[in-house]
Amino acid sequence: MSALNPSLQLALQRLAQAFEEAIERTQEAAGQLAGSALKAARRDELLLTQALLRQQRSQCLGQFQQNLIQAWNPKSETVAQGRPSNWSELSLLDDTAVDAIVAADRIGKALGHSCEWELREVEAYTGALLGDPEAGPDRNPVRPELIARALLAAVDGMTDQPGLRQTLSEELTRSLSLLMKICYSDLAMQFVQRGLTAQDMRTVSAEGGGRSSSGDGLSTSQAGALGSSQAGAMTAAERQALGGATAAPAPIGARGGLGHVEPVVMDLLRRLHFSAPMLSQASLADASAPAAGNLIHLHREELRQATQTPLDHMVIDVVASLFDAILADPKVPPQMARLIGRLQLPVLRAALGDTSFFAKRSHPVRRFVNRLASLACAFEDFSRDPGLGFLQRVAELVEEIAGGDFERLATYEKQLDALESFIADQGQKLLQAQGQDTAALLERKEAQARQRLQYQKQLEKALGELPLPEFLRRFLSRDWSAVIVHAANQGEQQELMARRQGRDLAVSVLPKGGSAARKDFLTQLPLLVRGVNLGLDNVGTPEALRKQLFADLLPVHAEALKTPALSVLDQNLLIKRIEAAFGLAVPDEAEALRATISLDIDLEQVFAPDEAHQVGLVAEAEVAWTGEVDIDLSAEAAAPLQAVDISIDGLPSAEAPEPTQGAALFEHLQLGCVYRMHTGEGWRKVKLTHISAQRSFFIFTEGEQIAKTVTMTARMLRRLCESERLKAFESAFLLERATARAREQLAALLPAKSGGR
């Protein structure tokens, strides 16, 4: 057997990669199907399928590759002849061979069903791959028919039981068919990168290629209107306009699908989606524009006919009920409800392929829909910015999903990242429009607070073994260390002065025996007191603390004047140790952050009164914590949803909903969402506009056009949550609310149980 040329070797690696991913998907899907199987025999068969794939994965992949290599061998008749099958010759074959040919033909059609355009692009390189300019699509070495034969050979090598072989081939075909579009796109991209020359695209006949010349979803007239070279150069938008709805190629090896859905179901979902009218930019912000219709209800019978299992039928009904509740939810502005309505069929596709959609609150599709609804509650006016800008950006993201490749989790994760980035940027622009960079100021204050804390710990350790009164050691390490850090940020001269004053304050309590030492002390004392007061003024130290300091120093100084002095050597050694303690370098911001990242820091201390007023800092002392808070915010207030409230019989058990009040709410605060806050006499609606990098400061804004800033430290905000003075504006996320309503509706349709509801 001759060696493969580099281009075919590259194709082999990419096909093997796709087949390996299909094995992984099939293994996972078999376990899920086994859990929902109604018959024990079917469940056992699926579990055995899963076990075979797990145990013989390497052998299966190796057999697949080996069969492809044999088919690509120039001496093999598979590629050399490549002519249409003559059904009259089948009389010479036994029944097993006939079944194999029929199965390979069926699997080949399934693999090529949804990747017509991508396959045509690859077929353009057939001549370059085989070194034969006359080679046509019927000799394409990566055509679905050859891949189907390799798949069957791999299955035959795993087991000799007919039932298991059929299950394996069916499930692997379903998984692999979802990957062929990306696989062919990647191959075409790789062939271009290797410098292969493409031939002009030719119309593929049903006889030669086993596919209709009209392509995937194209009518005969549409296909005939396309020139040979134009068909190969069509953009994704042009293909969507013609019904192909082909998305841009994904990166090689990209993973993260939404589970298996039959190609025929995907085709139907795309057709129904593109048949629905799109939203115009003019009506985007119009609250009185017609509401979105429930497409799933309108096409329910068509969708049920395309799907096969009772579980799929139930999922269709559940998702339809979900969107009934979503589109009628009073908390969702009508402008946003219409945009979310554009996601009906993508959400249905996610639910059909992955039933964990109903259980995992972290599911990207759920997070995206919930996030849109929650963010929309923060805007009061969508006719102008910032509400209008938000709607326009959301419309772009929604159309990119609905009109693109919504079969992949990565699509939703990408849009979520784009949405989060937009919200963060919009919040920064809002704060900057107020004429101050509040976020930057808070970052500096946090860095300063961390430097203070770390330097305080270092100075406290250095002073720990010195013979100083406990009150003075505590003052120098806790309060005067803040003065030194502040001075270090002002300049070298100010820092040296602050260190010297701290050193002099420590030396002032040492024994003074002798008239000369007493005279020097009494002469320098007024200057020392003035310097200490100035330093404390710079960091806003309360007056009460100063009075207490000087009151404690008075008897200590009096005692020091009466106590005999130490020897000159001991005195000098002690002063050297004090000077060494105050000679410690102030840690830089990065060092301080690493050392204090896990510590609870009182950040209010770093703000001067005018700075606190500038950023709208709410201090703990400003809240009447002993006052009663009216828990019932409105007539619509309801008890928080429980996991059992949003579970649906037949679907995976739901995770507990995220908290909307209480201490746990602090860990679930989200940028851009609105909350109800009670810090004074009543409740007010605020929007979380900024969260510092270390989640130490939180900036809320009240109002939209002329926003008032409300800033809180993490300690303050956590206490608000614990005392239930901060609550989420939504009683639960949109999909949790909708699922609870859908569950109630479905329960009402079921016959009442005896003795129960």
Q: 215 pLDDT band (50/70/90 cuts)?
A: very low
Above 50 in pLDDT, residue 244? no
SS3 label, residue 689: strand
Do 390 and 485 share a domain, yes or no?
Answer: no
Tell me the β-bridge partners of 701. 687, 709
Do 89 and 104 share a domain, yes or no?
Answer: yes
Least confident segment among 139-153, 260-274, 388-402, 603-617: 603-617
Better-predicted residue by pLDDT, 573 or 744: 573
The pLDDT value recorded for residue 216 is 36
Do 143 and 16 share a domain, yes or no?
Answer: yes
Above 50 in pLDDT, residue 729? yes
Percent of the chain with pLDDT over 90: 22
Q: How far apart are CA 359 and CA 343, in angstroms?
A: 19
Host domain of residue 714:
609-749
Question: Which of the listed residues 593, 622, 652 is the one where a domain comes to its end?
Answer: 593
The pLDDT value recorded for residue 753 is 45
Least confident segment among 179-188, 243-252, 646-655, 670-679: 243-252
The pLDDT value recorded for residue 502 is 92
Does some domain include residue 424? yes
Question: Which of the listed residues 559, 593, 627 is the one where a domain comes to its end?
Answer: 593
Q: Rg of the Cα trace of the chain?
A: 36
Does some domain include residue 268? yes
State the angle between helix axes of 6-36 and 162-193 in degrees (0 to 180), rounded to the nearest 10: 140
Average pLDDT, the chain: 79
Above 50 in pLDDT, residue 455? yes
The pLDDT value recorded for residue 512 is 82
Residue 617 DSSP one-character state:
B
State how many domains the chain has. Answer: 4
Of the ranges 35-39, 211-215, 582-586, 691-695, the best mean pLDDT one: 582-586
Please report, in angstroms and rounded to a whole number, the separation of the first and last CA atoms in the chain.
72
Check: CB of residue 540 under 8 Å from CB of residue 546. no
Above 50 in pLDDT, residue 754? no
Above 90 in pLDDT, residue 443? no
Above 70 in pLDDT, residue 326? yes
Residue environment code for 504-530, b if the CB has 16+ CB neighbours within 10 A, otherwise e: bbbbbbbbbeeeebeeebeeeeeebee
The pLDDT value recorded for residue 523 is 86
SS3 label, residue 686: strand
Q: What is the mean pLDDT of residues 719-725?
A: 91
The pLDDT value recorded for residue 548 is 92
Do 14 and 163 share a domain, yes or no?
Answer: yes
Taking CA atoms, 50 is separated from 150, 166, 171, 626, 638, in Å, by 20, 14, 10, 61, 45
Check: CB of residue 476 under 8 Å from CB of residue 505. yes
Question: Which of the listed residues 183, 206, 229 is the one where a domain comes to its end?
Answer: 206
pLDDT tens-digit readout, 472-529: 999 999 999 989 998 998 888 999 999 999 999 999 988 887 767 788 888 888 999 9
The set of long-range contacts for 580-583, using a CB threshold of 8 Å and a minimum separation of 24, is: 580/462, 581/459, 581/462, 581/463, 581/466, 581/506, 582/459, 582/484, 582/499, 582/500, 582/502, 582/503, 582/506, 583/499
Check: CB of residue 535 under 8 Å from CB of residue 503. no
Better-predicted residue by pLDDT, 116 or 338: 338
Does some domain include residue 756? no
The pLDDT value recorded for residue 669 is 92
Above 80 in pLDDT, residue 124? yes
The pLDDT value recorded for residue 607 is 79
Least confident segment among 223-232, 259-268, 446-455: 223-232
Residue 733 DSSP one-character state:
-
pLDDT tens-digit readout, 429-439: 888 877 667 88
Better-predicted residue by pLDDT, 661 or 78: 661
Q: Where are the alpha helices (DSSP H) in 597-749?
A: 609-615, 714-722, 734-749
Using CA of residue 668, residue 674, residue 676, residue 677, what is the dihedral sign? positive
Q: What is the mean pLDDT of residues 284-301?
A: 84
Q: Which of 680, 682, 699, 684 is nearest to 625 (CA)?
A: 680
- How many CA atoms lie less than 13 Å away from 98 in the CB half-sphere? 10
The set of long-range contacts for 132-140, using a CB threshold of 8 Å and a minimum separation of 24, is: 133/199, 136/202, 136/208, 137/202, 137/204, 137/208, 137/209, 138/82, 138/83, 138/84, 138/208, 138/209, 139/79, 139/82
The pLDDT value recorded for residue 755 is 44
Q: How far apart are CA 627 and CA 425, in angstroms?
A: 37
Does some domain include residue 230? no
Phi-psi region of 243 (alpha: psi -120 to 50; beta: other; left: phi over 0): left
Give the CATH number for residue 693. 2.30.30.140
Q: How far apart are CA 586 and CA 594, in angstroms?
A: 14
pLDDT tens-digit readout, 94-119: 566 667 788 888 888 888 877 887 88
Residue 39 DSSP one-character state:
S
Q: 245 pLDDT band (50/70/90 cuts)?
A: very low
Do 588 and 671 share a domain, yes or no?
Answer: no
Tracing tokens 């963010």 back to the chain, one arrives at 375
One-letter amino acid for residue 243 of the chain:
G
SS3 label, residue 698: strand
Q: 271 pLDDT band (50/70/90 cuts)?
A: confident
pLDDT tens-digit readout, 663-703: 999 999 999 999 999 887 788 899 999 998 888 889 999 88
Residue 123 DSSP one-character state:
H
Q: 582 pLDDT band (50/70/90 cuts)?
A: very high
161-163-165 Cα angle (round to 5): 70
- How many CA atoms lie less than 13 Å away from 455 in the CB half-sphere? 28
Check: CB of residue 715 under 8 Å from CB of residue 603. yes
Does some domain include residue 235? no
Phi-psi region of 382 (alpha: psi -120 to 50; beta: other; left: phi over 0): alpha
Do 371 and 517 share a domain, yes or no?
Answer: no
Do 344 and 419 share a domain, yes or no?
Answer: yes
Do 420 and 277 share a domain, yes or no?
Answer: yes
Q: What is the mean pLDDT of residues 163-178?
A: 88
pLDDT tens-digit readout, 595-646: 887 776 777 777 777 778 888 888 888 887 877 776 554 444 445 566 666 6
Do 576 and 614 share a domain, yes or no?
Answer: no
Do 614 and 585 share a domain, yes or no?
Answer: no
Residue environment code for 385-413, b if the CB has 16+ CB neighbours within 10 A, otherwise e: bbbbebbebbbebbebbbbbbbbbbbbbe
Taking CA atoms, 499 is separated from 481, 576, 580, 607, 742, in Å, by 9, 14, 10, 22, 68
Q: Which of 696, 531, 687 is nearest to 606 (CA)?
A: 696
Least confident segment among 60-74, 236-250, 366-380, 605-619: 236-250
Q: How far apart are CA 476 and CA 463, in angstroms?
A: 9
Do 466 and 530 share a domain, yes or no?
Answer: yes
Q: How far apart are CA 57 and CA 62, in angstroms?
A: 9
Do 176 and 201 share a domain, yes or no?
Answer: yes
Q: 89 pLDDT band (50/70/90 cuts)?
A: very low
The pLDDT value recorded for residue 551 is 93
Q: 163 pLDDT band (50/70/90 cuts)?
A: confident
Does some domain include residue 212? no
**197: part of which helix (H) or strand (E)?**
none
Percent of the chain with pLDDT over 70: 83
Does some domain include residue 278? yes
Does some domain include residue 240? no
The model's pTM: 0.59
Check: CB of residue 527 under 8 Å from CB of residue 444. no
Q: How far apart are CA 187 and CA 656, in angstroms?
A: 44
Above 50 in pLDDT, residue 412? yes
Least confident segment among 84-98, 373-387, 398-412, 539-553: 84-98
The pLDDT value recorded for residue 647 is 66
